[in-house]
Amino acid sequence: MNSEEKQDYLKRYKEKKAEGELFWPDAISKDAVVSLAIFVVLICLAVFAGVPSEPPANPSDTAYIPRPEWYFMWAFQLLKYFPGQFEGIAIVGLGLVIVVGLFGLPFFDRGPKRHPRNRPIATVAMILIVAAMAFLSIQGVVTTPVSEAEGKIIGGTKAEQVTAGGELFAEHCADCHGADGEGGEIKDKPGEVTAPLNSDDFLIGHFDDTIFQLISYGQPGEGMQAFGLAYGGALNDQEIRAIITFMRSWAEPEEETPAGNEAVADLAKIENPSFAKDVKPIFDAKCLNCHGKRVKGGYKVDTYDNVMTSGDNAPVIVAGDAANSTLAKMLRGIKTPAGGQMPPGKPLKPAQIDLIERWINQGAQNN
Ligand code: HEC
Ligand code: HEC
């Protein structure tokens, strides 16, 4: 820069400065407002979305494959290129080079121009660094195997996930939470009960990540062991995810097949329903898993006699009077001393309920 250029520059600098904003208090106050807004957003995220905590470190787990957060992936990958004893040197050395380089940049790159095109050294250096970080990050993700605790992805489609999750639920959870998460008495622990998991209260009230944590960590104070591999349980992350997909399916309407709908519509045409031919098949399909071998509410639907006489609040059927029969009220979702909606959470089709009521009104015979 010759002295003329310098004068010119200083003059323009003065002009700009005169028309500019003050750092204190103008710029600072703007910064303060934006920082406050970001802070509020962070607090809201922490309170309402939460952060699932990571499992504790387990020094005896030799199968553990470390995987840093994505923003450290590049450094993680970089270290893989250095043999063991040089890793320390690489970390300290490279860090030093980068920091010294940043400090030195104003001394290498002394031009007065500010546009990136006029500052080739700085611009190229920055592009190279960003590109290298991106390349290393991708390389790191691709070459780091998935750890055992994460597990293999189960099934491609949601239906496959639901099926796999359902099997796992039946194997690991149903004894305490019921076949369909309806809750009730814990098997082998008379008097101890669980609350329903298939209720809107539970399903709408919990994020997937929260449910994941509840299953993975268990409820140690309340008699449910940990299920996550990380906590010494039997299920990997993907298996727990499949169970959650299955649990979510409780809140979805059942899939309707054309054949199924036709069969249900045909029920309306049956004027004098038979217990054996028309009513029993509905009980078998919709009630038996909770009112057969498992006896919820003391009620069994396996035989005609049990249908008529069993139950903690027996009789639940008043022959000839569906309107006063506990069972019919429960099918309609009316609260009774014996309980509410049957089956819990998933009402029968109106045509099925009408048919059972017709059968009761005609005398609830064993026909
Ligand atoms: C030995 C019995 C037992 C087994 C097996 C069991 N649980 Fe639990 N679980 C409980 C108890 C007891 C609670 C305490 C809350 C309650 O009373 O409902 C609980 C709580 C929960 C909760 C939290 C409920 C809430 O309202 O906060 C979830 C979710 C859950 N269990 C899911 C599962 C899943 C999924 C499995 C299978 C992988 C499973 N449980 C296996 C007994 C069990
Ligand atoms: C997912 C399990 C489940 C299914 C399926 C189910 N129930 Fe129930 N049922 C229960 C539970 C649990 C109770 C105990 C009351 C309660 O907790 O609400 C009960 C109670 C009852 C009672 C009251 C018994 C008494 O005397 O106290 C009747 C009647 C009944 N169910 C009828 C049916 C019928 C009819 C169906 C099929 C259309 C059906 N249930 C399907 C779980 C189920």
Name the one residue in this structure whose structure tokens are 């063991």.
84
Give the number of the atom of ligand 2 that is nearest the alpha carbon of residue 310.
Answer: 26
Last residue of a domain, one of 113, 145, 177: 145
Nearest ligand atom owner, CA of 222: 1
Both 270 and 353 in a single domain? yes
Last residue of a domain, one of 145, 176, 191: 145
For the CA of 356, the nearest ligand: 2
Number of domains observed in the structure of the chain:
3
Residue of minimum CA distance from atom 39 in ligand 1: 173
Is 15 inside a domain boundary?
Answer: no
Mean predicted lDDT score pLDDT of the chain:
85
Residues with CB under 6 A from ligand 1: 172-173, 175-177, 186, 194-195, 197, 202, 211, 214-215, 219, 222-224, 227, 243
307-340 residue pLDDT tens: 999 999 989 999 999 999 999 999 998 989 998 8
Note whether residue 54 is domain-resident: no
- pLDDT tens digits, one per residue of 27-74: 899 999 999 999 999 999 888 877 766 666 767 666 666 778 888 888
The parent domain of residue 179 ranges over 158-249
- What pLDDT score was predicted for residue 318? 94
**Separation CA 218–CA 211 (nearest Å):** 10
The answer to whether 46 and 38 are in contact (CB under 8 A) is: no
Beta bridge partners, 184, equal: 194
How large is the greatest C-alpha to C-alpha distance in the chain, in angstroms? Answer: 114
Q: Would you say 324 and 318 are in contact if contact means Cβ atoms under 8 Å apart?
A: yes
Ligand 2 pocket member 327 (CB < 6 A):
yes
Return all residues near 75 (Cβ < 8 A) that are at least 6 apart.
68, 136
Look up the pTM and report it.
0.47
Spacing, Cα 297 to ligand 2 middle (Å): 6
Q: What is the pLDDT of residues 132-184, one digit of tens each?
A: 999 999 998 888 776 666 777 777 778 788 878 888 898 899 889 988 888 88
Q: Which of 222-236, 285-299, 350-364 has the lowest mean pLDDT?
A: 285-299
Predicted local distance difference test score (pLDDT) of residue 148: 66
Which of 300, 364, 304 shows the shortest CA–CA distance to 328? 364
Q: Are 295 and 307 in contact (CB under 8 A)?
A: no
Asked whether 180 lines ligand 2 (CB < 6 A), one says yes
Question: Is 301 inside any structural domain?
Answer: yes
Q: Is residue 367 part of a domain?
A: no
**Is the dihedral angle over the CA atoms 134, 138, 139, 141 positive or is it negative?**
positive
Q: Which of 28-37, 74-83, 179-188, 254-263 has the least mean pLDDT?
A: 254-263
Give me ligand 2 centre to Cα 79, in Å.
61
Q: Which residue has the tokens 């005398």?
A: 363
Kindly state whether residue 58 falls inside one of the protein's structural domains. Answer: no
CA of 158 to the centre of ligand 2 (A): 29
Mean pLDDT (whole number) for 207-235: 89
Distance, C-alpha 140 to centroid of its chain: 26
For residues 315 and 354, membership in a common domain is answered with yes
Q: With respect to residue 52, please indicate whether it lies within any of the assigned structural domains.
A: no
d(CA 55, CA 64): 12
Which residue has its alpha carbon closest to ligand 2 atom 8?
342
Beta carbon of 296 within 6 Å of any ligand 2 atom: yes
Q: What is the pLDDT of residue 254?
A: 60
Question: According to the model, what pLDDT value does residue 263 have?
Answer: 76
Pick 259 or 343 by higher pLDDT: 343
**Is 233 part of any domain?**
yes
Distance CA 55, CA 226 (A): 11
Phi, psi for residue 147 in degrees, rounded to 5:
-75, 160
Ligand with smallest separation from the Cα of 318: 2
253 pLDDT band, cuts 50/70/90, is low
226 CA to middle of ligand 2, Å?
30
Q: Which atom of ligand 1 is nearest to the CA of 202?
A: 26
Residues 6+ apart with CB under 8 A from 213: 52, 53
What are 253's two structure tokens? 């309407």
- Ligand 2 centroid vs 299 CA: distance in angstroms? 7
Identify how many contiguous H helices and E strands the chain contains and give both numbers.
15, 2
Ligand 1 geometric centre to CA of 224 (Å)? 6
The pLDDT score that the predictor gives to residue 142 is 84
Mutational test site, ligand 2, from 250, 282, 287, max ligand atoms within 8 Å of CB: 287
Asked if residue 170 and residue 112 are part of one domain, the reply reads no
Q: Which of 249, 274, 296 is the last residue of a domain?
A: 249
Q: Could you tell me the distance, in angstroms and rounded to a whole number, from the CA of residue 221 to the centre of ligand 2? A: 29
